[in-house]
Chains A and B, each alone.
Chain A
């Protein structure tokens, strides 16, 4: 039986909801859910970060040398934080699961990084970037964090230029900009279509400098598999050496997770093969709150799925929406070649629906609009799951050479993957799971609900609310890593006197034993299905039940199906080989097991949020013209979940969101 048939069979069997096990009810039943305190600075928002920095504790360089920080992850956030903490004088160990820190998935970001430099003199400011980000996120993010992000954006560009990041320049030698979705100003800095790679190499080089000159230890091929909690504080990690299979203990005074996002829970996504949620799920199981797990972004400009065994969905930068026009034929079943379809029979639906922003409507809206066209039978391409992104008009206006210079490597990638030339034929695109706005809950200082555990970059629930603007992921990763986590972690270390932890203490032994037992269990099942097979079915369940649009009945059914699948996984997965060797299937199986837990949590969160917000589109809550409708009276909060056991309902907590600087309104891009 194929995986999709298995999924259909499972859903049919679970057709009727079981009222007794209704999953959405828990938050309502708890009359007074716990409230989480973000520890926001007092005073006006524009000076809040400065005020907090004044409150931070400092210590002497000699004392800083005595403290040890483990940074897990080496992407933009992890590498920049590890390098900057090492520059401050702390001893730092940076772990990454790839063979080199330079491979972290930040490398694949194409289009650019936002910063409120206002170099174009088109009315940009920190205030406007703040407002665009908050509105883009559909008012489900924390004002003070977003304001700080906007303020720090300008320092990030300075820092990266000083490191030798070769951003695009104008002929006069000044930095060039382009526009991204959800913004009317031109504030995106870029290096062709390889901005993420260039920024990552900047951070990687800073990391390499500290490895050579400072007190930084860089360890590749290490996967964090558990946290060491001693007393009530996080004091280190257990990691598996992926080359040898050995379990290793890294004791620390603070741990920083920079382990990226979890869009790979959908199996087919734009993420790298190895991108996984294990570190954040383990932290969740150890007591850290998980915030807004249902908030996952679908990127509108990806290549459509083609069939079995496909391993990823290739992303084409949103930057193409600067020059590309998105359309479908007006008539379903129009089989003519795109060039033969006259202007009057094309529906440039984004320009029609959102005349002010047009093709630069935010990602969630652009993705939903594409899916809606395909659901109506207007989709193009062999599978009918695709829309045209057409550069014809831009090519006529500016010529092929100009476009080639701007998007050359994207065109090259597309030609290779799709076998057609975007300058001759419109590209065919479709939304794909791309980025998780949800993640571990953190306070204003980026500390999780577990003292001593800091979470940065995509791994935290971050600043993007229910939808992230294009070119803001790189921004947040670097703001967290260069400028926020270092003083915050340093202050935590200065203000807490931590007793030494013995490698034979119960916290360490317990974590080591749990990790070893889990590996042994995975290897001992010796079942019939591969880990990938389970992952494919999980992805299909989530795509149908908790994807671009959601409804209560499907969420409930999907949640139960995923739990059933997880139980089957532990009884029927096949993991060859041993624990004490390089074993890629053991790595994969561990990650899939964690995705299964997370998938269920996503459905639960999506069910509990009885409104539409950004990426989270509940069909029960929309305006007559199909836009999502928020319910600010009941859901202007961050939903945070505490683990209570793998088969128990998690405990719900909330962080109320207050809007003092901006007034939440129905998002309008029309």
Chain B
């Protein structure tokens, strides 16, 4: 198949960016979008041109390194996919129509279907080059308290505290966040509420995480504010873009955790 890619090019953090158009032919629809970018880069390199910078590592949707706004959607128009899991066949149907990007019938036109690729855009995610952004703000938010303060060697026997199956599953649903930042890129306010909520909800669900729960929720929210993430106004785009389908429930839980009065023995209790 043939494909036209309209890609954001930006040589460095402070350099101005622009779109550049590339045409590729002879692509197998079984390729992933990132493999198509690999093909494009191979051609650019052998021509002596500058390849397109983009990030990816595991290429199986778990490490969270990849993240491209594909046809206007972070990680592409289909639900529950990371960018690396998007196949060309998912984007362009056999007639050459671009899926999810409006019914633009390009099958009879001489130009191949065109897909626009942009970096995740948010004030807290400065562009480093082309499609690569700096998401270290998310690490700093976790450093504000997204952990249980247990030292190595302090642990009691694992079966000492039984945890209900449903509770463990609920904690895991939230803990499945891959930290890709798509929730931020999808949010009109560039809010990190889904990301923060996922961590707070994961740890608050478990007895091990409860002791520090109140301090944790407030510090994480304060850190996210300080990093320049916006406020949550319950739009829900974050959930739609999340490759792991993290539920909006975690945002309600975050709000509840922030407002919850501290209990005896809790960190920060009066």
Q: Give me the interface of A with B, judged by CB distance under 8 Å.
A: 80, 83-84, 87, 98-105, 107-108, 117, 119, 155, 157-164, 166-175, 191-192, 194, 196-198, 201, 204-206, 208-209, 211-213, 218, 220, 243, 272-274, 306-312, 314-315, 412-413, 416-417, 482-483, 486, 528-530, 532-533, 574, 576-577, 581-582, 584-585
How many residues of chain B are within 8 Å of chain A by beta carbon? 81
B57 and A208 contact, CB distance less than 8 A: no
A103 and B171 contact, CB distance less than 8 A: no
Enumerate B114-162 residues with CB–CB distance to A below 8 Å: 128-129, 132, 134-136, 138-139, 142-159, 161-162
Min Cβ gap B79→A in Å is 11
Contact stretch, chosen from B202-210, B226-234, B249-257 = B202-210
Asked whether any CB of chain A lies closer than 8 Å to the CB of B96, the reply is no
Selected from A163, A173, A585, the residue in CB contact (under 8 A) with B165 is A173
B45 and A107 contact, CB distance less than 8 A: no
Q: How far is the CA of A413 from the CA of B62 in the complex (A)?
A: 10
Residues on the B chain within 8 Å of A412, using CB: 80
Residues on the B chain within 8 Å of A483, using CB: 152-153
Q: How far is the CA of A530 from the CA of B53 in the complex (A)?
A: 15
Total A-B contacts with CB atoms under 8 angstroms apart: 219
Residues on the A chain within 8 Å of B134, using CB: 99, 243
Residues on the B chain within 8 Å of A197, using CB: 62, 176, 178
Residues on the A chain within 8 Å of B87, using CB: 416
Known: A83-B152, A208-B147, A576-B49. A164 touches B209 (CB 8 A): yes
B179 and A102 contact, CB distance less than 8 A: yes
B50 and A577 contact, CB distance less than 8 A: yes
Asked whether any CB of chain A lies closer than 8 Å to the CB of B164, the reply is yes
B139 and A209 contact, CB distance less than 8 A: no
Q: How far is the CA of A108 from the CA of B128 in the complex (A)?
A: 26
Interface of B is mostly: loop
Q: How far is the CA of A201 from the CA of B244 in the complex (A)?
A: 15
A169 and B168 contact, CB distance less than 8 A: yes
Residues on the A chain within 8 Å of B44, using CB: 576
Selected from B136, B149, B155, the residue in CB contact (under 8 A) with A161 is B155
Selected from A80, A157, A158, A309, the residue in CB contact (under 8 A) with B38 is A309
Chain B, 56-78, contact with A by CB distance < 8 Å: what is the 0/1 string?
11111111110000000000000
Asked whether any CB of chain A lies closer than 8 Å to the CB of B112, the reply is no
Q: How far is the CA of A301 from the CA of B240 in the complex (A)?
A: 32
Known: A155-B155, A163-B147. A194 touches B62 (CB 8 A): yes
Q: Give me the interface of B with A, judged by CB distance under 8 Å.
A: 11-12, 28, 30-32, 34-35, 38-39, 41-42, 44-46, 48-51, 53, 55-65, 80-81, 85, 87, 128-129, 132, 134-136, 138-139, 142-159, 161-165, 167-169, 171-172, 175-176, 178-179, 202-203, 205-206, 208-209
B136 and A206 contact, CB distance less than 8 A: no
Known: A159-B155, A161-B158, A486-B152. A99 touches B55 (CB 8 A): yes
Residues on the A chain within 8 Å of B161, using CB: 161
A158 and B158 contact, CB distance less than 8 A: yes
**Other 9 A-B pairs with CB < 8 A, given A108-B58, A198-B175, A482-B153:** A103-B64, A107-B62, A159-B152, A163-B147, A163-B148, A173-B162, A191-B175, A208-B147, A273-B58
A98 and B59 contact, CB distance less than 8 A: no
Q: How far is the CA of A172 from the CA of B178 in the complex (A)?
A: 29
B162 and A98 contact, CB distance less than 8 A: no
A162 and B168 contact, CB distance less than 8 A: no
A574 and B46 contact, CB distance less than 8 A: yes
B148 and A162 contact, CB distance less than 8 A: yes
Residues on the B chain within 8 Å of A272, using CB: 57-59, 63
Q: How far is the CA of A482 from the CA of B154 in the complex (A)?
A: 12
Q: How far is the CA of A163 from the CA of B35 in the complex (A)?
A: 37
Counting from the closest, the 7 A-B pairs by CB-CB distance are A173-B162, A205-B147, A162-B155, A158-B155, A166-B171, A166-B172, A272-B57
Residues on the A chain within 8 Å of B35, using CB: 309-311
A532 and B208 contact, CB distance less than 8 A: no
Known: A108-B63, A194-B62, A532-B38. A211 touches B143 (CB 8 A): yes
Residues on the A chain within 8 Å of B48, using CB: 574, 576
Selected from A243, A308, A530, the residue in CB contact (under 8 A) with B128 is A243
Q: How far is the CA of A164 from the CA of B202 in the complex (A)?
A: 8
Q: How far is the CA of A102 from the CA of B143 in the complex (A)?
A: 12
Selected from B139, B149, B150, B163, the residue in CB contact (under 8 A) with A100 is B139
Q: How far is the CA of A577 from the CA of B11 in the complex (A)?
A: 11
Selected from B46, B56, B58, B164, the residue in CB contact (under 8 A) with A169 is B164
A174 and B162 contact, CB distance less than 8 A: yes
Residues on the B chain within 8 Å of A172, using CB: 162
Residues on the A chain within 8 Å of B138, using CB: 100
